Structure 1
Amino acid sequence: MTTELILLGTAGAPMPVAGRGGISSALVVDKRVFVIDCGRGSPSAFIDAGLDFARLDAVFLTHLHADHTGDLPGMLLYPWGVRRGDHRPLPPIRVYGPSRPDALPMGDPPFERATTIHPEQPTPGTTDLVEKILAAYAYHLNVMPLDANMPDAGELVRAIDIPTPASSGRAQLPVTVFEDAGLRVSAVAVTHGHAVPALAYRFDTADCCVVFSGDTTANDNLISLATGADVLVHSVADLGYLKRHGFTGAALERMAGLHTDVTEVGGVARRAGVRELILTHYLPAEPEAIPNREWAKRGAKGFDGRTIAGSDGLRRALVRETSADDHAPRPDH
């Protein structure tokens, strides 16, 4: 069995920027492809990476902010009609993600909204999101089969909500959300401001263990999930940069409650005992704001393993390594 990690996009903000695609990663496990988050441009990045939609097995969403889900419609709709070598229709693409929260967060102090979008269901979960995507594209899904040899759209996708605690700050043991021959996927709730639930994922294959932090602050749930992993793919922000560029007071505090500062992420990796730390979901997202070498240098603080500043299109063939040399400090770019 072989396992390969591909970073499809590494930007850490909803606003598009030149030079970095929206956040998305792919894990190829023995020719099956699993996508983690579907940010801007992820279907095109999927193809540019030489991946085959016929091998797309499942999508895992860390949370439902638009920068992580904006191109989920394309990831689901574009493969419709793709067939395997034996010409049979593909099985449904499975989409795993957070369940619907109990209520709309109010904030502290309470946030006064002039408008609540879709008040009858203001905080949909993953199943709700997928149902609404299919409803929004009903014209395409109902009419296209009249002009093309398309399979039943009812077999296009299957969404699965992952049950999570009511509070992201609550201590939680990892729960298994997917398991078959050669792969087990576990999840845990992490802290990302008012985005409740937000999830991190752990993929255990025969070759290695990879953890995707999603968007989170440093927290014990993530460290529990990542303990002993070979690779930790972690989102980062430079809060000092944001402060120098206009974020002050409550705005800066909110950002600190959403993301892990780059100078803290090495400590997370050290506490989890991982071998390799790969940085992604950069904030600021513009490549010219902070060079990758500087991201890697800051991210390596407090960590003795390898630190890599990820970039769009980065590929890593993953295997377990036990060499003592592998634990020497090596900030890469």
Structure 2
Amino acid sequence: MKRARRKLGLASAAAWALACASGADLALARGGGDSIVLLGTSGGPIARPDRAGIATLLAIGGKSYLIDAGEGVVHQLGKAGMQAADVPTVFLTHLHDDHYAGLPALASFAYTTRAPKLAVFGPPGTNALGDGVKSVMMPSARIRMIENHLPHSPADFLGTQEFSAGVVFDDGTVRVSALANTHFHLPPLAGGQQEQSFSLKFEGHGHTIVFTGDTGPSADVTAFAKGADVLVAEMASLEDRAAVPPMVRSHMDAEHLSPLEVGKLAAGAGVRELVLTHVGTVTKTDLAVIRSVYAGHIVLGSDLARIAI
């Protein structure tokens, strides 16, 4: 069963994720309309007093989709009036720990509270990550299966599917496309696997929303986001860049977006609204730099902010 789920085709994967939707999931979207909920807006593997790890909930067409699952995502869902079991489908933009550190808790809590399934879609390496999450879940699950009469094991509950560039998901409500971006510049691993980071485009219910994920400047990402209603973009602010050691600044410049590059991306793509997330300390200077090249609406993301789309 585990291997069969890993090899699901696009149509069957979408049908499987569709079957996971819960009543609470539908109620969230219907109650608030189509929206983006910034569950966590922090960038990087560090603790911040005012930001949880990067995680964004897209509520569209009566369904909910989670993009990245940073540290603290279960706690943030609780603050938003939801539970782990209300999130049946997760997309990971890449496999840095700040983008998946909350996944074990999300999966384990959803399993324990009897969610039907959890579908996780991500880049190469996601299947191995899923195996690790299942291992983390097992000590509790062995007890819960007896104590709470849970009908299936973590292996039956959690399914993963790896994607590459192109259309990666279509459940009839949203169509999700992926584009490799410039967050990684790494040689292939032994065996030929290439670490990849992706930008994601969600199209459906009359909306187009693009998530940059972590990326450096990229003409391809600009073209990918062309005409989107909302661009949810990462940003390395001027203060964030200044705070890292000098040896890290070249990484910040090549593999993240400065305020100027964010503005150029939003302007070049002609997006209606720019939402900034995966940030640390953002000042008026950062926003002024963006505004110097981009005339659309800017939202500086904060944890639990809800943005109507």
Normalised to the residue count of structure 2, the TM-score between the two structures is 0.81
Q: How far 1:163 moved relative to its partner?
A: 2.5
Please state whether the residue corresponding to 2:111 is helix, strand or coil.
coil
1:251 to 242, 248, 253: 248
- Distance verdict in 2 for CA 1:20–1:229, change over 3 Å: same
Please state if 1:71 is matched with 2:70. no
Residues 198, 212 of structure 2: 8 Å contact kept: yes
Alignment of 1:64-103 (within 5 A): 64-83=95-114, 90-99=115-124
Please state whether the residue corresponding to 2:228 is helix, strand or coil.
coil
Q: How far 1:91 moved relative to its partner?
A: 3.4
Q: Which residue of structure 2 lines up, in the alignment, with residue 141 of structure 1?
A: 141
Q: Which residue of structure 2 lines up, in the alignment, with residue 209 of structure 1?
A: 208
Normalised to the residue count of structure 1, the TM-score between the two structures is 0.76
Look at both structures and tell me which one has the larger radius of gyration over its CA atoms: 1
- Distance verdict in 2 for CA 1:251–1:316, change over 3 Å: closer
Residues 241, 252 of structure 2: 8 Å contact kept: no
Residues 68, 99 of structure 2: 8 Å contact kept: yes
Structure 2 Cα separation of the partners of residues 44 and 30 of structure 1:
25
Q: Which residue of structure 1 lines up, in the alignment, with residue 269 of structure 2?
A: 272
Unaligned runs of 5+ in 1: 84-89, 100-124, 165-174, 319-333
Alignment of 1:29-68 (within 5 A): 29-68=60-99
Structure in which a larger fraction of residues adopt helix: 2
Residues 36, 59 of structure 2: 8 Å contact kept: yes
| Counterpart amino acid of residue 97 in structure 1 | G
Unaligned runs of 5+ in 2: 1-29, 187-194
Please state whether the residue corresponding to 2:110 is helix, strand or coil.
coil
Residues 201, 213 of structure 1: 8 Å contact kept: yes
Identity %: 31
Q: How far 1:205 moved relative to its partner?
A: 1.4
CA deviation map 1:254-278 (0-9, x unaligned): 2212211012211101111111000
CA deviation map 1:213-261 (0-9, x unaligned): 11101202211221111000000012x435644633x432122122110
Q: Which residue of structure 1 lines up, in the alignment, with residue 297 of structure 2?
A: 306
Q: Which residue of structure 2 lines up, in the alignment, with residue 122 of structure 1?
A: none
Query: Paired residues, what number?
Result: 269
Please state if 1:179 is matched with 2:170. yes
| Counterpart amino acid of residue 156 in structure 2 | E
| Counterpart amino acid of residue 146 in structure 2 | L
Please state if 1:241 is matched with 2:239. yes
| Counterpart amino acid of residue 157 in structure 2 | L
Q: Which residue of structure 2 lines up, in the alignment, with residue 155 of structure 1?
A: 156
CA deviation map 1:267-311 (0-9, x unaligned): 1011111110000111xx2xxx444x5443333331111111111
